[in-house]
Amino acid sequence: MPEPSQNFSLTLRVNGAEHRVAVDARTTLLDALRDRLHLTGTKKGCALGQCGACTVLLDGRRVVSCLMLAVMAEGRQVTTIEGLARGDDLHPVQAAFVEHDAFQCGYCTPGQIMSAVGAISEGRTGSDDEIREQMSGNLCRCGAYTNIVAAVRDAAAREG
């Protein structure tokens, strides 16, 4: 007797565009974004949900895409780092990261920026301590934390 199919054809709405993809039932949202849609800005770090490198927005809320199955995102809006800028105009958080030199190697930067965008939209950036708490799920091995907090504070003030 053949095994039941574990493949799904689904529609992912990513950065305002719909994409039909075929995925195995076990495919994470991270792998669907990187391997099927070739959106490689979202980074694969620990694959355990501990580093935050894979942070994206799902219906405007922060999620670590390595812990979410792609099928769970069907019919929902996914925003990746590639979806923030408008042409050559950087998103205010991206611009603040550049202005405050809030990155070194840059590997964690997309996840840091996506988490910052989420924290700002949630209204959770009222103080440096609150920013540190909200960004605590995003690790930076280079130790650019002081500059990251400054960038988030500046972007929040601009959007506030």
Question: The domain 92-159: what is its CATH number?
Answer: 1.10.150.120
Residues pairing with 56 in the sheet: 63
pLDDT tens for residues 41-50?
A: 999 999 999 9
Backbone φ/ψ region at 54: left (φ over 0), alpha (ψ -120 to 50), beta: alpha
pLDDT tens for residues 49-101?
A: 999 999 999 999 999 999 999 999 999 999 999 999 999 999 999 999 999 99
Distance CA 148, CA 155 (A): 11
Q: Select the CATH number that applies to the domain covering 7-83 from these four: 3.40.50.11060, 3.10.20.30, 3.40.50.2300, 3.60.20.10.
A: 3.10.20.30
Within 13 Å and on the Cβ side, how many CA atoms surround 47?
A: 4
This model's pTM is above 0.85: yes
The residue extents of the domains of the chain are: 7-83, 92-159
